Structure 1
Amino acid sequence: MLISFCLLVEGHFVIEVLLVVVILFQLSRKSYKPPKKPLTEKEVDELCDEWVPESLHPPITKEMEEQIQTPVLESAAGPHTVIDGREVVNFASANYLGLIGHEKIIDSCTGALEKYGVGSCGPRGFYGTIDVHLDCEAKIAKFLGTPDSILYSYGISTIFSAIPAFCKKGDIIVADEGVHWGVQTGLQLSRSTVVYFKHNDMDSLESTLEKFTRGNRRAEKIRRYIVVEALYQNSGQIAPLDAIVKLKEKYRFRVMLEESNSFGVLGASGRGLSEHYGVPIEKIDIITAGMGHALATDGGFCTGSVRVVDHQRLSSAGYVFSASLPPYLASAAITALDHLEGNPDVITKLRSNITLLWNGLSDIVGLSISSNILSPIVYLKLKKSTGSFKDDMKLLDVIAQHALKEDSLLICTSKKSTLDKCHLPAGIRLFVSAGHSKSDIQKAAESLKRIAALVLSDLN
C-alpha cells in the first residue's frame, strides 16, 4: 500500500516536471514568421481594385437630400430678406429687436474693423484679449447687475462649455426635457448623472429633486444643479423662475439658466427672466446667453459672481482653447446694449407685434399656438398629431414650402438632427421681430391660415 502511494506521488511529480519543461520550451521558442515574399505589382493592383473603403456616413436618402435643400439668403437676415433674387418677409431669423442692419451697429463695426482688424487671432488667455472685450464684459455685467461676466466666441458654445466647467462625473444634474441641443451637449460632456423632468412641470421637478435628496446622505456631499432655459427654443414656453428658485432653496441645488432667447426680450427693460419675475439675479448661480438673437451680433456670455467667472477663465474649453470673439462683434454688442437702454420702447413694439400675430392666428385651422403670450417665438403645433414626428414634420414642411413659394413668406419648422434628443412635438416656429411692420404680421397670419386650411383640412 505504501509502495503504491509513493509510486503515485512520483508519477505526479514527473508529469508536473514535464509540463513545466514543455511550457518553458514553448515560451523560449521564436514566434513563427512566414517567409517574406513581396507582392508583385499585378497583385498590388488587384488588391487595390478589390478594396472598398467603409463609408464615413450612412447612405443619403431622398428624404435627407430634401432636408439639405434649404433656402439660401442673399442679403442680411432682417425683417425682409432676399432669396433667389426675390424679396421675402422673414419670420425665420431670431432678430428680436430688429437690430440687424441698424446704422449705429454697422458704424460701430466699421470703426472696430479699422482699429482692430477682422479677428483677434488668439485665445483670450494668451494674446487674444483686446480692450473692447473687457468693455463688453463690463457692460453686460452692469446691465444685468451682476459682479462680472465672461465672453465666448460662439453663442451656442457658451452653454455647452459652461456646464462641463462646473459639472463633473459624480455630480447630479436635473434638467428640463425640452432643453435645446446646445444644452443637451453640455450635459453629455459633463459626464454627470443627468435626470430629466417633464417639460416646464414644477410638480415633476420637485418630485425628481425629492427622490435625489430624501434619505440620501451621499447627495449632501456632491454638487447638484438644476438646468433650464428661460424661454424654451423647442416650445416657446417661459420657465417659472419664481417656483424654480423656491425649489432650489428647499432642496439645496444650484440653478444654471440659459437665456439666449429671453435676454433683451423679457422684463420691462429686457434684462431677462429674473426681471420678468422680480427675482433677485443673485439667486441664480449661473446665467448664459448667446448674443446672436436680440443683440444681432455673435458670441455669447456667462455672468454671475466673480468666482464663477474666474473659474471659467481657467477651465472652460470654449473660452480657453478658442480664438477670442472678433473685436467688431464685441463692439456691436456694446452698441446694441446702448440702443436697448436708450430705446426701451423697442420691447413694447416687439410685444405689440407678438400680440398682433397671436390675434391673427387665433382661429387657424389644424394648428394651435403652444408658446407663451410674451414669447417672440410663436410656436404652432398640430392639433391632431399623426402619431409620428416624421409625418408631422412632412405636413409642416409642406406648409412652410407653400408659404415661401406662393406668398414670399419665410418660416421654419422645428427640424432636429439625429443628435437632438428632445421629444417635444414638432411645430412651426415664427420668430417675431420689433422690425416687422403691421402689414408683415397680417400677411403672415393670412398666409398661414389659408395654407393650413388647404393642407390640414383632411386631419380635422
Structure 2
Amino acid sequence: MYALENEGGIKKVKKLDQFLQDNLNDLRDRGLYNEIDPVEGPNGPVIKISGKELINLSSNNYLGLATNDHLKEIAKHAIDQYGVGAGAVRTINGTMDLHVKLEEKLAEFKGTEAAIAYQSGFNCNMAAISGVMDKNDAILSDELNHASIIDGIRLSKAKVIRYNHSDMDDLRAKAKEAAESGLYNKVMVITDGVFSMDGDLAELPEIVEIAKEFNLITYVDDAHGSGVMGKGAGTVKHFGLSKEIDFQIGTLSKAIGVVGGYVAGSKDLIDWLKVRSRPFLFSTALPPGDTAAITAAVQMIMDSTELHDQLWENGRYLKEGLLKLGFDIGKSETPITPCIIGEEKLTQQFSKRLREEGVYAKSIVFPTVPQGTGRVRNMPMATHTKEMLDQALAVYEKVGKELSIIN
C-alpha cells in the first residue's frame, strides 16, 4: 500500500489509494465486482478462456459476422490498399472514399436521406444528443435507456424528464406538460429500440403518435435492433416508421460485427452533425479495413435474411428450452433472453457454475440492472448449432437445480 509521510513522520495512506481499496472491497463484498475474462481467439459460438472451450452465450455477434471469412478478406484487402489507419479526423483529410461509400450504404440500409459514421455506438449518443439539444431544451427519456443515452443527455445540459419504462400514459402526460409549459425551445423523446437487458421492444407506434401531437423530436437508439429486427433493417423498419423517426442510431459492432456506430436521418441533420458533433470533429476516422468490412457486412444483411432467420430460430429454440426448465426469462420479444435470478451473489455464483460446466453466460448485476434483478443474459447467435444449444440447456438444468433456482 503506497503511503505518504508528513512532517511529523506519521504515514498516511494516499486518499486515492484509500478510495479505490475501500470501494473495490465493497463491490466484492456485495457481489457487484465484475471480473474480466480475456478470450483466447475469435469471439464465435464457442470461445476459449483460460485454455477451456465454452459455449458462448454472451456475445453481441448476433449474425456471426465478426468472424466471417468473406469480411476478413475484405478487411485485409482494404488494409493493403489504404493502410491500417485513416491518419486524421474526418474534417481534415481523414475522410476516405471508403467512408463516403459506407455512409451512403448506411442511408440506403436505414431508408433515410443520409447517415454519418462514428468510432463507437457510445460516441453516437454523446455526439448526436449534445449536437442538437442544449440547456434551453428538455428530453423525455425512458427510465431503462442505455448508459450512453444517459451520458449524452448529461453532456447536452438539457432538462431530463424520465418516464416510466414503456409507459405511454406517463410519456403522454409528461410530454404534454413539457410542451405546454413554455419553458423549452425544443423537446425530444429518446428510447432504445430494443432494451438490451430484457430484450423487449419500445412502443414506437405510440411514441410517434405522442411526438406528432406535441411536436417532439424523435430519437431511437437501435443498437440491438440493427441487423436483428425488421429483417435486418432495425426496429424502426419493423414498425414501418422509417419516415417518422428523426434520429436512427445504431452500432456497427454488434450484428454488423465490426466496430463503430452511426446516425441516420435527414440530409440537414447529418450535415449539422458533421459541423457540430464533437466526436466527429475531434476523433480520428474509422480505420480503412474496418470501414470496408462494415460496408460489406451491411450489404450482406441487405442481400439475404438467411443469418437473420437462423438467429431468430435459435432464439426461439433457446427460449422454449429455458421456459420448459422453469427459468424466469422476463418479457423478451427478441433473441436476447435473460435468466432473471434476483440476488446478486447468487447470480454471480450461477454464472460461475455455468462456466465450470462449459457454458459462458456472463452475470449482469447492479448498476447495469436494478438491485435485486441480477440475471445472466443469453445472446444466441446465428452460428450456434442445435447441438450447442442442447448442451447449454442441459448445463442450465444441472446448475439451476443444484442452486435451487429451478425445481
Q: Shared topology, TM-score over 0.5?
A: yes
The structure-2 alpha-carbon separation of the partners of 1:130 and 1:251, relative to structure 1 and needing over 3 Å to count, comes to same
Match of 2:404 in 1: 456
- How do 1:380-391 residues align onto structure 2 when only pairs under 5 Å count? 380-382=339-341, 385=342
The structure-2 alpha-carbon separation of the partners of 1:297 and 1:416, relative to structure 1 and needing over 3 Å to count, comes to farther
Match of 2:215 in 1: 252
Give the Cα–Cα distance (whole angstroms) in 1 for the partners of residues 205 and 272 of structure 2.
Answer: 27
Match of 2:236 in 1: 274
* 2:293 maps to which of 302, 307, 332: 332
Check if 1:355 corresponds to 2:316.
Answer: yes
Match of 1:377 in 2: 336
TM-superposed deviation, 1:128: 1.0
Match of 1:144 in 2: 110
CA deviations over 1:398-443 (Å, ceiling 9, x no partner): 111001112x1111122455xx686793322111111111112222
- How do 1:73-92 residues align onto structure 2 when only pairs under 5 Å count? 73-92=39-58
CA deviations over 1:78-120 (Å, ceiling 9, x no partner): 1111111121111111111111211110001100111111111
Query: In terms of Rg, which structure is larger?
Result: 1
Match of 2:359 in 1: 409
Check if 1:427 corresponds to 2:392.
Answer: no
Check if 1:441 corresponds to 2:389.
Answer: yes
* 1:291 maps to which of 246, 252, 259: 252
* 2:182 maps to which of 204, 211, 217: 217
Give the Cα–Cα distance (whole angstroms) in 1 for the partners of residues 209 and 229 of structure 2.
Answer: 20
* 2:266 maps to which of 286, 305, 311: 305
* 1:321 maps to which of 267, 270, 282: 282
Give the Cα–Cα distance (whole angstroms) in 2 for the partners of residues 50 and 129 of structure 1.
Answer: 58
Contact 1:154–1:325 under 8 Å retained in 2: no
Give the Cα–Cα distance (whole angstroms) in 2 for the partners of residues 315 and 402 of structure 1.
Answer: 49
TM-superposed deviation, 1:68: 4.6
Give the Cα–Cα distance (whole angstroms) in 2 for the partners of residues 55 and 379 of structure 1.
Answer: 37
Contact 1:178–1:422 under 8 Å retained in 2: no
Give the Cα–Cα distance (whole angstroms) in 2 for the partners of residues 190 and 207 of structure 1.
Answer: 23
Contact 2:366–2:374 under 8 Å retained in 1: no
Q: Secondary structure at the match of 1:225?
A: strand
Contact 1:180–1:422 under 8 Å retained in 2: no
Check if 1:346 corresponds to 2:307.
Answer: yes
Contact 2:138–2:158 under 8 Å retained in 1: yes
Give the Cα–Cα distance (whole angstroms) in 2 for the partners of residues 85 and 176 of structure 1.
Answer: 41
Consecutive unaligned residues of structure 1, counting only runs of 5 or more, are 1-44, 386-391
Identity of aligned residues (%): 24
Match of 1:191 in 2: 157
Q: Secondary structure at the match of 1:47?
A: coil
Match of 1:395 in 2: 346
The structure-2 alpha-carbon separation of the partners of 1:193 and 1:46, relative to structure 1 and needing over 3 Å to count, comes to closer
Give the Cα–Cα distance (whole angstroms) in 1 for the partners of residues 265 and 353 of structure 2.
Answer: 45
Check if 1:234 corresponds to 2:194.
Answer: no
The aligned amino acid for 2:139 is: I
Give the Cα–Cα distance (whole angstroms) in 1 for the partners of residues 53 and 26 of structure 2.
Answer: 29
Give the Cα–Cα distance (whole angstroms) in 2 for the partners of residues 48 and 163 of structure 1.
Answer: 53
Contact 1:171–1:224 under 8 Å retained in 2: yes
Give the Cα–Cα distance (whole angstroms) in 1 for the partners of residues 162 and 222 of structure 2.
Answer: 19
The structure-2 alpha-carbon separation of the partners of 1:217 and 1:187, relative to structure 1 and needing over 3 Å to count, comes to closer
Match of 2:63 in 1: 97
TM-superposed deviation, 1:132: 0.4
Check if 1:368 corresponds to 2:328.
Answer: yes
Could you tell me the TM-score, scaled by structure 1's length? 0.82
The structure-2 alpha-carbon separation of the partners of 1:46 and 1:217, relative to structure 1 and needing over 3 Å to count, comes to closer
Match of 1:61 in 2: 25
The structure-2 alpha-carbon separation of the partners of 1:49 and 1:301, relative to structure 1 and needing over 3 Å to count, comes to farther
Q: Secondary structure at the match of 1:194?
A: strand
The structure-2 alpha-carbon separation of the partners of 1:128 and 1:50, relative to structure 1 and needing over 3 Å to count, comes to farther
The aligned amino acid for 1:413 is: S
Contact 1:404–1:411 under 8 Å retained in 2: yes
Number of paired residues? 397
Moved more, 352-361 or 155-164: 155-164
Give the Cα–Cα distance (whole angstroms) in 2 for the partners of residues 187 and 161 of structure 1.
Answer: 10
Match of 1:171 in 2: 137
Give the Cα–Cα distance (whole angstroms) in 2 for the partners of residues 76 and 257 of structure 1.
Answer: 31
TM-superposed deviation, 1:331: 0.7
Give the Cα–Cα distance (whole angstroms) in 2 for the partners of residues 126 and 415 of structure 1.
Answer: 43
The structure-2 alpha-carbon separation of the partners of 1:64 and 1:121, relative to structure 1 and needing over 3 Å to count, comes to farther
Match of 1:7 in 2: none
Q: Secondary structure at the match of 2:84?
A: coil
Q: What is the alpha-carbon root mean square deviation over aligned residues?
A: 2.1
CA deviations over 1:187-220 (Å, ceiling 9, x no partner): 1111111011111121221122122234x2344x
TM-superposed deviation, 1:341: 2.1
The aligned amino acid for 1:404 is: R
CA deviations over 1:5-61 (Å, ceiling 9, x no partner): xxxxxxxxxxxxxxxxxxxxxxxxxxxxxxxxxxxxxxxx97395574421643231
The structure-2 alpha-carbon separation of the partners of 1:425 and 1:195, relative to structure 1 and needing over 3 Å to count, comes to farther
Give the Cα–Cα distance (whole angstroms) in 1 for the partners of residues 355 and 379 of structure 2.
Answer: 15
Consecutive unaligned residues of structure 2, counting only runs of 5 or more, are none
Contact 1:371–1:379 under 8 Å retained in 2: no
The aligned amino acid for 1:370 is: G
The structure-2 alpha-carbon separation of the partners of 1:255 and 1:61, relative to structure 1 and needing over 3 Å to count, comes to same
The aligned amino acid for 1:217 is: G
Contact 2:133–2:186 under 8 Å retained in 1: yes
The structure-2 alpha-carbon separation of the partners of 1:421 and 1:62, relative to structure 1 and needing over 3 Å to count, comes to closer
